[in-house]
Structure 1
Amino acid sequence: MRRKNPKIKNLPDLPSPCTGICSMDMQNLYCRGCFRTRNEIGGWVLMSNVEKLDVLKEIRQRRRESRQTEKLP
């Protein structure tokens, strides 16, 4: 179970990770620029900072996986 971190609640609203490269990868169903799904993009403004941090963690993982896939022959 995740512990609540009171510092996260007091942070200013986390900015969108949008890179301005808005193109959906229809195979993986996330944006090629920011690596978010359509639901994550559309729901960003309604998410709490805790939820946004979870999405950012997912984005990092997707980005890593994408780089590994690109290196494969």
Structure 2
Amino acid sequence: MNNDVPSPCTGVCTMDLDNQYCLGCYRTRHEIGGWALMGNKEKIAVIKELRGRRREAEKG
């Protein structure tokens, strides 16, 4: 277990029920729940995915 990559949590913990991700950090429930157990490579992969989700959400 490696905790070098910080959580992307923004403290805005509200789930978008249509898209199934948090409106603050854009992680899914599975990603939020598993964050502490992920290695750095997995965390970085999730963060890259979050960037795409955020871009799509901002397009609206």
TM-score by length of 1: 0.77
1:62 to 43, 53, 56: 53
Please give the alpha-carbon distance, in whole angstroms, between the structure 2 residues aligned to 1:56 and 1:66: 15
Identity score, percent:
62
Runs of 4+ in 1 over 4 A off after TM superposition: none
- The alignment's TM-score, normalised by the length of structure 2, stands at 0.94
- 5+ residue gaps, structure 2, are none
Asked whether 1:45 is paired with 2:36, we answer yes
More relative contact order, 1 or 2 (CA 8 Å, 6+ apart): 2
Rg comparison, structure with higher value:
1
Read off the aligned partner of 2:26 and give its amino acid letter: F
Superposition pairs for residues 1-73 of structure 1, below 5 Å?
13-69=4-60
Gaps of 5+ in 1: 1-11
RMSD between superposed Cα atoms in Å: 1.4
